[in-house]
Amino acid sequence: MTQDMTLDEIRDLLAPVLARHAAFDGWRKEAVVMAAAEKGVDADIAALAFADGPVDMIDAWFASIDAAMLDALPPETLDALSIRKKIIALVEARLALVAPDREALRRALAILAMPTNTARAARLGWRAADAMWRAAGDTSTDLAHYTKRMTLAGVYAATLLVFVDDASEGHADSRAFLARRIEGVMRFEKLKAKIKGVGGGERLSLARFVGRLRYPAI
């Protein structure tokens, strides 16, 4: 029964459907009311679960995308892939998950781009990147741990900005954009390895992953 649920449990319940309503009502209390009605939750209790407003709602939706991504690509699916292909698969899985709610995503990105939300946006970008790297099997704890996540957050952010306006079939333009960003860094790393006289290939390049790109985190 929903009346016995904690506020965190209510957030988790409503988060996946919030975007559907935010596409029409914006990231406002009206979207919470509609999501609550859909899931049989008291509207006043639902409002308490998202008391911090629009960014709190967006945060919860993005967290639900993190969880759904892991469900879509369990370890047994990823294990057979190279690091490069794992990261691409994880980003593309996220794009597929948000595809039905692109208008809500557009509105969310506009809210997160506001100066007052910069720090929160950066944290959400870091969290998404961390979830992807952990799913890909990364266990680094040194400086590479941070550079990998900062870079992937930037690549993901840039890809989302392309994705919201992508009218190509199957979002082919967004996938190509993502592949180009990764391939560009791989070429840079291979060139560095060649100059240093070190054999590289994909394993060397992707051990640090796209560590030389810089985009604003979202």
Task: Express each pLDDT in 6-26 by its tens digit.
Answer: 999 999 999 999 999 999 989
Instruction: Give the closest residue to 149 by CA, choosing from 176, 174, 122.
Output: 122
pLDDT of 106 higher than 50: yes
Q: Are 42 and 2 in contact (CB under 8 A)?
A: yes
Banded pLDDT at 65 (limits 50, 70, 90): very high
Q: Are 104 and 156 in contact (CB under 8 A)?
A: no
Q: What pLDDT, on the 0 to 100 scale, is given for residue 4?
A: 79
Q: Are 140 and 130 in contact (CB under 8 A)?
A: no
Q: Which of 28-42, 82-96, 121-135, 181-195 has the lowest mean pLDDT?
A: 181-195
pLDDT of 194 higher than 90: no
Q: What pLDDT, on the 0 to 100 scale, is given for residue 206?
A: 47
The helix or strand, by DSSP H or E, that contains position 18, with its residue range, turns out to be helix 7-25
38 or 1, which is more confident: 38
Residue 211: CB partners within 8 Å, gap ≥ 6?
A: 144, 147, 148, 151, 185
Q: Which of 48-52, 72-76, 143-147, 198-202 has the lowest mean pLDDT?
A: 198-202
Q: What pLDDT, on the 0 to 100 scale, is given for residue 209?
A: 46
Measure the CA–CA gap between 108 and 65, rounded to whole angstroms.
Answer: 14
Q: What pLDDT, on the 0 to 100 scale, is given for residue 56?
A: 95
- Across the range 132-156, mean pLDDT stands at 89
In this prediction the pTM is 0.83
pLDDT of 205 higher than 50: no
Share of the chain above pLDDT 90, in %: 69
Could you write out the three-class secondary structure of 78-141?
A: HCCCCHHHHHHHHHHHHHHHHHHHHHHHHHHHHHHCCHHHHHHHHHHHHHHHHHHHHHCCCCCC
Q: What pLDDT, on the 0 to 100 scale, is given for residue 200?
A: 47
Banded pLDDT at 148 (limits 50, 70, 90): confident
Q: What pLDDT, on the 0 to 100 scale, is given for residue 109?
A: 97
196 or 94, which is more confident: 94
Q: Are 22 and 57 in contact (CB under 8 A)?
A: yes
Q: Are 14 and 49 in contact (CB under 8 A)?
A: yes
pLDDT of 217 higher than 60: no
